[in-house]
Copies of this chain bind each other. A is one copy, B any other.
Amino acid sequence: MSIENILNAESVAIVGATKSETKRGFQAIRTLLDEKFEGKIYPVNPKEKSILGLKCYKKVSDIKDPVDIVLITTPANTIPAILEDCGKKGIHGAVIIAAGFGELGDEGRKKEEEMVEVARKNNIRLIGPNTSGIINMKNNLNLVGLPDVPKGDIALLTQSGNMALTLITEANLKSRKGISYYIGVGNEADIKFHEYLEFFQQDHDTKAILMYVEGMRDGRKFLQQAYKTTLEKPIILLKSGRSSIGKRSAGSHTGALAGMSEVAKGAFERAGIIVIENSDELFPAAETLSSLPPIKNNNVAILADGGGHATIAADLLTDLRINIPVLSEKTQAKLKKILPFTASVPNPVDVAGGTDSNPAIFADCAEIIMKDTNIGGLLIVGLFGGYGIRFAESLALVEEDASHMMGKKVKKYKKPIVLHSLYSAKKPHSLDLLRYYNIPVYDSLDVACKCISLLAEYGDYLGRYHTKAKFIMNWGAKTKSKGEEIINRAKEENRNFLLEYEAKNLIQLHGAPVSHDYLAKTADEVVSIAKNMGGEVVLKIVSPDILHKSDAGGVKLKLRTEDEVRKAFDEIVDNAKRFDEKADIRGILVSPMAKEGVEVIIGTKIDDQFGPIIMFGLGGVLVEILRDVSFRVLPLSQAASKKMLKEIKSFPILDGVRGNPPCDKKALTELMLICSEIVEAYPDIQEMDLNPVIVYESGLNVVDARVILKD
């Protein structure tokens, strides 16, 4: 049965139906009746004749009429038998409320797998377990037992019933918005996040998808789906379980692999998902993004009736990386004409009392500002909506007029307005009018600023997508077969890693510039190679038994003379023997000492939830301590590789500081794309570290490389 058919079910059996008021088996039926579910309801309880006037059945298979789905509210242990009975009846979808599965640890996980097994055998798809239920607002299929859910265009996809309740309550109290569907995803034992996402992408009544996630079973598939979905409608997501204690709590809650690695945020953002960290912003973000056009140029104007709000808003938007450009001279002149001389018009615009006796001037200012072609969106902050309360009752009607005017301007100029009003909680009619015109209104200045910034973030994403170069795999069959030879040789030796020179050979095959190394067996050979090289050299041990060469005293730098080289050779060999007396020493790698440049690190690994990922950062201990690195899920696009460079805080180093020339960023992004290519080409690679890579004004040099293979 498709997910669409489950969510749009026309008949539902409730197993665990009861007359006990505080129980789910009662609330679900009452809500279905109260909310006028358009389909049939079949309570199932062996001990009752009828519940809330509906005939009660002993078991599902006793129901004569066809049944689309079943809601099971009974405890974990009862479920396999119920599913068998549902199979007999030909039901293809089940919503399982019970906790006591994967979230309790290994034993629970086993129980969960067994349940999924029974479901598969009986051709039943499962929502949950450990879910709060599902709601379809179109046919009033409300299996959550929650009344007064507002109908609208936001799809809710959460792993916490309480968070759903929070969001629905907020929608009711503070907006004119509502939901299209609600899914309590629960433990994702069967149906997973990406499957719901695919459905919502196609659903015409859904304009935005709002998600609360604690952990995900298949992050990579989710990303693949999200990447498509966000081009059509925004996904807004709060990921909790960031901290170790949050993980502990989330893990015990959903049983999923909680607290995704730190790559999660970067991966989500790359897929165009709007990632929210503050729960107060979650619903407003969905409200704004489902209501208004995105901002294309990151430029916002602030219109205020008081300096305090204007200043705070300017600080917040700046923190959120929004530009607040000075308005054009023409715009400023027009504003000056209608505002008092004490007003400030560059941007933020502070009307300085100019609206006290006529708040309709807000609408005039808004239009003047929106006409400024350089301005992408408008944030209005302060008292609007409260002039009728604060100054004189009659002004309330003037405000309503202004709301109508502003609402129409949003449509006319196709530019968004977001409004902060101190008086929002007093619910003046003028603010409700703004919401009617899809202008969201917030009583929190922080939330209003965040929301308008998200319109710019989403606009920027959509803009970037269309100019994005497609990633093309450019290795030939020959390169790949040679690379496979290198990897197979290691595997034949039962090694789970490549030796340094093998790793370098591999990446060189794909076009990366590596240091010109020579493998030598004897001291004489080393000396002769060093002489030919000229300048300072580096010696490194080559042994399958020594993975971390420096720790074993297997690296000597800056060797100038023959004496130094011979001494270093002996020391390295001695150290290696001391480190592991049985070490299989393959020789000594002789490399020219690399010129000084900017040291960077590029690493890849296979993440548990997202599959292959890549990391970039500067070299050095300080960067390590400050964790100043950027991540992406592979494969990498050219645009993403450029963004990765800019994302690290120490980016200015790459651009050249204190008289140093800028680094060759093109060579660096090319190297990252090569890494992406290599990871895709050889599924045997578990981890790859190029550390350090030394980058010059022109070109770069991979000085050391490490490749770990899958076991």
Contact = CB atoms under 8 A, between A and B. Distances in A.
Nearest to A391: B22
A21 interface: yes
A82 to B, nearest CB: 19
A541 to B, nearest CB: 19
Number of copies: 2
A244 B326 CA distance: 13
A240 B319 CA distance: 12
Contact of A392 (B22, B162, B246, B319): B22
B312 A279 contact: yes
A292 interface: no
Contacts of A331: none
Given A622-B623, A626-B628, A626-B650, A324 B245 contact: yes
**Which of A314, A319, A348 is most buried by chain B, counting CB atoms within 10 A of its CB?**
A314
A600 to B, nearest CB: 13
Contact of A342 (B100, B312, B445): B100
Given A245-B324, A246-B314, A252-B307, A22 B650 contact: no
Given A22-B391, A161-B308, A249 B104 contact: no
A253 B100 contact: no
Given A22-B391, A169-B422, A382-B162, A310 B650 contact: no
A273 to B, nearest CB: 18
A252 B310 CA distance: 11
Nearest to A21: B392
Contact of A253 (B161, B162, B311, B650): B311
A34 to B, nearest CB: 14
Contacts of A626: 626, 628, 649-650
B162 A309 contact: yes
Interface stretch (A350-358, A401-409, A662-670): A350-358
Contact of A318 (B245, B307, B423, B657): B245
A653 B242 CA distance: 25
Nearest to A342: B99
A625 B655 CA distance: 12
A123 interface: no
A620 interface: yes
B162 A308 contact: yes
Contact of A650 (B158, B314, B390, B625): B625
A444 interface: yes
Interface in A198-254: 212, 214, 238, 240-246, 248-250, 252-254
Interface in A312-352: 312, 314-315, 317-319, 324, 342, 344, 346-348, 350, 352
B279 A160 contact: no
B622 A653 contact: yes
Nearest to A387: B22
Nearest to A174: B425
Contacts of A310: 249, 253
A346 B650 CA distance: 40
A348 B240 contact: no
A513 to B, nearest CB: 25
A422 B165 contact: yes
A658 interface: yes
Contacts of A445: 166, 279-280
Contacts of A447: 280
Contacts of A444: 279-280
B308 A212 contact: yes
Contacts of A311: 160, 214, 240-241, 246, 249-250, 253
Given A357-B22, A425-B173, A620-B622, A307 B214 contact: yes
Interface string A403-445: 0000000000000000000110110000000000000000011
A325 to B, nearest CB: 9
A621 interface: yes
Contact of A160 (B308, B352, B426): B308
The 9 closest A-B pairs by CB, nearest first: A160-B308, A253-B307, A162-B306, A243-B318, A246-B315, A163-B308, A246-B314, A245-B314, A249-B311
